[in-house]
Structure 1
Amino acid sequence: MGMIGALEQPLVTLAFCWRIERRDGVTIGLTSHDRDLAIGGLTYRAAPGMTPSAIRSGIGLEGEDSDLAGALSSDAISEADLMAGRWDGAALEVWLTQWGALEEAPGDLWLSLARGEIGAVARKGAAFSAELIGAAAVLGAAVAPSISPDCRATLGDRACRVDMAARRRVVTVSGVDGAVVAATGLTPGDYAFGTLRWLGGANVGLVQAVADNGVDAVTLADPPAFAVAAGTLALLTEGCDRQMATCAGRFGNGVNFRGEPYLPGMDLLTRYPGA
């Protein structure tokens, strides 16, 4: 019996299933059923408090809109991980299955309701809600880049083309004071606007923006989400301030600069003779 036929029965035993894959590869399954369901090699853990809002699908650029709500659970999606951003941008799939059919096992009836990635996450008391951004949302993005004096590329991407192999460095952190991370042997300013990725400890896998660095310290945009022990390893990646002078002078990459540094600004419209 297909899913449509199952939905037409006078009595149905349906359950929602969520497959969530973080950017670091960690994958979990959750179900609204009161017992675990093993489907496709993944165990969907019972999470009766998890509920999806109405899922709207149609012809248009807005794609699918949905919300995922539930209670914070330490063994599935913890409050600490949510606030640390581990689930930001995670791939999310929502399915509908029938768990109590006599002739089918869970997963035999498998209807895709929505897929996309986790967007904004809101917390209220001991509960949370997460927005599902549908795949069609990319159709609403700008077709052509906006004109700007700063470079629109990201250091090392396909538009920039700077080789990043020699511009990453693993450092040993000797201590953390707020947003300042102590690490020695650095060239001042090289890692400003770059990133720091934690390779160990409670923050492992998290990536943070670097505001500036000196010879023996790195200043992050925000303090680490969790405590950092001395001796923790971190990967530093150089950054760029997106200015033409930096691109040409420091990286020798002026030919690939993706900006318009000499374009007259809005102040040109306010000028008058003799000003």
Structure 2
Amino acid sequence: MKGETIARAWAVTRSDGLVLGFTDHDRALEFGGMTFRPDSGLSAKAVVQGSGLSVDNSEAVGALSDSAITELDLMAGRWDSADVQLWDVDWSDPENRSLVFRGHLGEISRSGGSFRAELRGLSEPLNRAQGRVYHPRCSADLGDGQCRFNLDAPGYSALGIVDQVDGQRVRLRQIDRHDARWFERGQLIVLSGAAAGLRGQIKHDLLLTGMQREVELWAELGLQPAPGDRVKLTAGCDKRAETCRMKFLNYLNFRGFPHLPPEDWLIAPQVNR
């Protein structure tokens, strides 16, 4: 490729399947069945790539555009961890291109009418600690491939309607037949309205009068649901063996070690053992 005809093209894929293409060229580019638009104001600093397990990194900078990346979507978290591909493209012959980066969006910050997003390469997960944790409590996440519990089983989820929202507290109606605290450590999933698709972890679950209950989230949703929006609650697990056996009837798949001796036993004097 000739240096004077090189442009950069981006493909960004959100977790909900939306795919957008951008370019820093002054005209649209087309290749791979996609159109890469020049009107987003998206640009990037130089991509830093290292050998070994060092983290590839860069930064994308752009203007918020109603037709592309909106501040509402950023606040709602819909761009978090979106997949990113970056090419150097010969704009005079788009088939002449090379993929120079593949990864995902990291931390996103907003200021005025612009945003700034970290780009994290594919090697980043290799720096995380791997291996199984030996602990009395379960190491699986409720409903994952190790736990194998079906969260859609009768009694372990509930549909409700938002009545009132006050920060991290969400009051719901039309939810019954569940004890207080049943959904603690579970999830609140917004099903309709502007915040549809957002999820929050439930900290407290209070049963009110009639068919009303109030849940408190660990953190506010990026975009708060409005009264009348539909939500789904899923049961929570504290990862104890007793909870797995009695609440979920799933002890066969328990991934903890409840009979491990505690730490005080390990450091006690080695007498009469």
Q: Partner residue of 1:185?
A: 175
Quickly say closer, same or farther: Cα 1:260–1:28, change in 2 above 3 A.
Answer: same
Q: Partner residue of 1:247?
A: 244
Aligned-partner SS, 1:245 = helix
Quickly say closer, same or farther: Cα 1:124–1:269, change in 2 above 3 A.
Answer: farther
Q: How far does the alpha carbon of each residue in 1:21-51 deviate from its partner, in whole angstroms, 9 at most, with x for none? A: 1111122111112333333333322247422
The alpha carbon displacement at 1:85 in A equals 1.4
Q: Distance in 2 between matches of 1:233 and 1:48?
A: 33
Structure 2 contact 58–118 (Cα < 8 Å) conserved: yes
Quickly say closer, same or farther: Cα 1:59–1:229, change in 2 above 3 A.
Answer: closer
Structure 1 contact 183–218 (Cα < 8 Å) conserved: no
Within a 5 Å distance, the mapping from 1:2-13 to structure 2 comes to: 6-7=1-2, 12-13=4-5
Q: Partner residue of 1:3?
A: none
Structure 1 contact 155–162 (Cα < 8 Å) conserved: yes
Q: Partner residue of 2:35?
A: 43
| 1:144 maps onto 2:134 in alignment | no
Q: Distance in 2 between matches of 1:257 and 1:227?
A: 35
User: Percent same amino acid among aligned pairs?
Assistant: 36
Query: What's the TM-score once normalised by structure 2's chain length?
Result: 0.84
Quickly say closer, same or farther: Cα 1:222–1:257, change in 2 above 3 A.
Answer: same
> Could you tell me which amino acid in structure 1 is paired with residue 9 of structure 2?
C
Q: How far does the alpha carbon of each residue in 1:199-223 deviate from its partner, in whole angstroms, 9 at most, with x for none? A: 1111011111122223322222223
Q: Distance in 1 between matches of 2:215 and 2:129?
A: 35
Q: RMSD over aligned Cα, in angstroms? A: 2.5
| 1:59 maps onto 2:59 in alignment | no
Quickly say closer, same or farther: Cα 1:139–1:189, change in 2 above 3 A.
Answer: same
Within a 5 Å distance, the mapping from 1:1-40 to structure 2 comes to: 6-7=1-2, 12-40=4-32
The alpha carbon displacement at 1:112 in A equals 0.6
Q: Partner residue of 2:222?
A: 225
The alpha carbon displacement at 1:264 in A equals 3.1
> Could you tell me which amino acid in structure 2 is paired with residue 55 of structure 1?
V
Aligned pairs, number: 261
Match of 1:108 among 95, 98, 108: 95
* Structure 1 unaligned spans of 5+: 1-5
Q: Partner residue of 2:163?
A: 174
Query: What's the TM-score once normalised by structure 1's chain length?
Result: 0.84
> Could you tell me which amino acid in structure 2 is paired with residue 230 of structure 1?
P
